[in-house]
Structure 1
């Protein structure tokens, strides 16, 4: 999985998507239902750092394998949708890219 640029991107996308799920479905309820606002601070900070790494990986993959505008746009868009990275990961596994 880590041998190619796409494999590395898929891994980072999975981790970033997981951080969004944790932020939305664990940290936010803890903040509003349990009064534990630090959960959002911690999860939000981690998610923000992972999001920046995710954007850097999009840039890296775009230059490494010459991703089309559609792939770049899709990769950025799914970062804002819960479970969106899982959908993109499925498409990436099915797509054929040159070995990079």
Structure 2
């Protein structure tokens, strides 16, 4: 499942960055300065990347045996700006193996 988690994490960040660029840069340029270039390019790229995000999420959810509701909520995270970053952290927390914690040395 490690490969599926890594693929999901990478595409979640890429989709999140593309959506942030689209909303924070592209939309103001389009509607404030009548320049739709960024929206046309990044919007199209985000659409294709979101399809990869859906496939990676579906693959990971099947491997992790998630309930349908969790899978759908994680899939929707790629449609709201910045939520894919939050979802990626939550998914990583759910699925990453527990790391043994070593105690910090005490200064004495």
Normalised by the length of structure 1, the TM-score is 0.83
Shift in Å, 1:71:
2.4
CA distance in 1 between counterparts of 2:48 and 2:76 reads 17
Report what 1:87 is aligned to.
Answer: 86
CA distance in 1 between counterparts of 2:68 and 2:47 reads 24
Shift in Å, 1:88:
0.8
Shift in Å, 1:96:
3.3
1:63-74 map, 5 Å? 63-74=62-73
**Aligned residues: CA RMSD:** 1.8
What do the CA deviations read for 1:3-29 (whole angstroms, capped 9, x no partner)? 521121011011011111111111111
Normalised by the length of structure 2, the TM-score is 0.78
Report what 1:32 is aligned to.
Answer: 31
Shift in Å, 1:73:
1.9
5+ long unaligned stretches in structure 2: 98-108
Q: How many residues align?
A: 96
SS state of the match for residue 66, structure 2? coil
Report what 2:42 is aligned to.
Answer: 43
Report what 2:16 is aligned to.
Answer: 17
What do the CA deviations read for 1:78-97 (whole angstroms, capped 9, x no partner)? 12211101111221222136
CA distance in 1 between counterparts of 2:37 and 2:25 reads 12
5+ long unaligned stretches in structure 1: none
Report what 1:62 is aligned to.
Answer: 61
Runs of 4+ in 1 over 4 A off after TM superposition: none
Shift of the 42–16 alpha-carbon distance from structure 1 to 2, 3 Å rule, reads same
CA distance in 2 between counterparts of 1:95 and 1:28 reads 34
